[in-house]
């Protein structure tokens, strides 16, 4: 009975957390909607074009995050209905959820790479280095995801006999804990580029006593992402 209580309690966590997350994201969306509209309109007037990679990346990350949380909320609460889930469904959804979540992270990392690329005066070497590391991090994630999916049927087999609210919240198994390490290592490298550039920018600004430049704004945003 202790096993059942532990699994049942673990399954209650996503049911509550996902609603709070969705509520916050929707609130933030409407709070910043006016800024989005004015920012996009200003960008269109300055560049005199309706679309670009920066605008696409911004809109993709913004709206994909909302759609991802809507998907999570619907999926978690539908699966909580008795009789909806099965072992096969749970085996399919586990890697699916991780991949759709990783897409959001990868999109942000692409934007961070573009910012680092701009900070280093469009250095081709920096772009190739970061692009190679980014590709390796995705490949490592996929390998760990596949490795973690192998044998998961046996891991959740005993838990499936309990009347749980959704799929068993069991996250241990081969490579499960390590799936996000490649992305973390890659972001540490990006952070290293940002810190290196920020040291030079801050020392120069202190020497010249001038206003913050565009590079410093980019550095501030990057550091806010890593530590905020």
Is pLDDT larger for residue 85 or for residue 225? 85
Q: Which residue has 């692409």 as its token pair? A: 110
Over residues 9-24, the mean pLDDT reads 89
Q: pLDDT band at 217, cuts 50/70/90?
A: low
Over residues 101-128, the mean pLDDT reads 92
Which pLDDT does position 182 carry in this prediction? Answer: 94
Predicted confidence (pLDDT) at residue 220 exceeds the cutoff of 70: no
Lowest mean pLDDT among 46-50, 73-77, 91-95, 183-187: 46-50
Over residues 41-52, the mean pLDDT reads 60
3-state class of 152 per DSSP? helix
Q: pLDDT band at 42, cuts 50/70/90?
A: low
- Of the candidates 106, 126, 132, 131, the one whose C-alpha atom is nearest the C-alpha of residue 192 is 126
Q: pLDDT band at 225, cuts 50/70/90?
A: low
Into how many domains does the chain fold?
A: 1
Q: Which residue has 């957390």 as its token pair? A: 17
Share of the chain above pLDDT 90, in %: 33
Most confidently predicted of 3-7, 52-56, 89-93, 158-162 = 89-93
Is pLDDT larger for residue 153 or for residue 23? 23
Cα dist from 115 to 15, 125, 220, whole Å: 36, 14, 11
Which pLDDT does position 228 carry in this prediction? Answer: 55
Which pLDDT does position 3 carry in this prediction? Answer: 79
Share of the chain above pLDDT 70, in %: 80
Domain carrying residue 122: 2-227
Predicted confidence (pLDDT) at residue 143 exceeds the cutoff of 90: yes
Which pLDDT does position 100 carry in this prediction? Answer: 93
pTM of the model: 0.79
Per DSSP, helices labelled H in the chain are 2-47, 53-79, 87-119, 124-149, 152-157, 181-208, 214-227
Predicted confidence (pLDDT) at residue 112 exceeds the cutoff of 70: yes
Which pLDDT does position 57 carry in this prediction? Answer: 85
């Amino acid at each position: 009975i202790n096993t059942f209580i532990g699994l049942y309690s673990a399954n209650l966590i996503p049911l509550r957390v996902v609603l709070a997350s969705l509520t916050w994201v929707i609130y933030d969306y409407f709070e910043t909607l006016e800024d989005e509209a004015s920012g996009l309109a200003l960008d269109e007037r300055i560049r005199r074009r309706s679309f670009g990679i920066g605008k696409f990346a911004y809109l993709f990350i913004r709206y994909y995050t909302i759609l991802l949380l809507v998907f999570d909320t619907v999926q978690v609460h539908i699966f909580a209905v008795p009789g909806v889930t099965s072992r096969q469904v749970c085996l399919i959804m586990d890697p699916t959820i991780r991949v759709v979540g990783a897409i959001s992270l990868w999109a942000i990392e692409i934007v961070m790479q573009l910012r680092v690329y701009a900070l280093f005066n469009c250095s081709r070497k920096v772009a190739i280095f970061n692009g190679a590391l980014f590709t390796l991090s995705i490949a490592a994630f996929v390998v760990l995801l596949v490795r973690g999916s192998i044998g998961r049927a046996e891991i959740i087999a005993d838990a499936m006999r309990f009347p749980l609210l959704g799929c068993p919240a069991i996250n241990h198994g081969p490579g499960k804990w390590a799936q996000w390490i490649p992305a973390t290592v890659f972001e540490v490298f990006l952070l290293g580029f940002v810190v290196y550039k920020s040291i030079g920018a801050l020392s120069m600004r202190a020497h010249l006593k001038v206003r913050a430049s565009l590079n410093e704004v980019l550095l501030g945003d990057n550091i806010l992402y890593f530590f905020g």
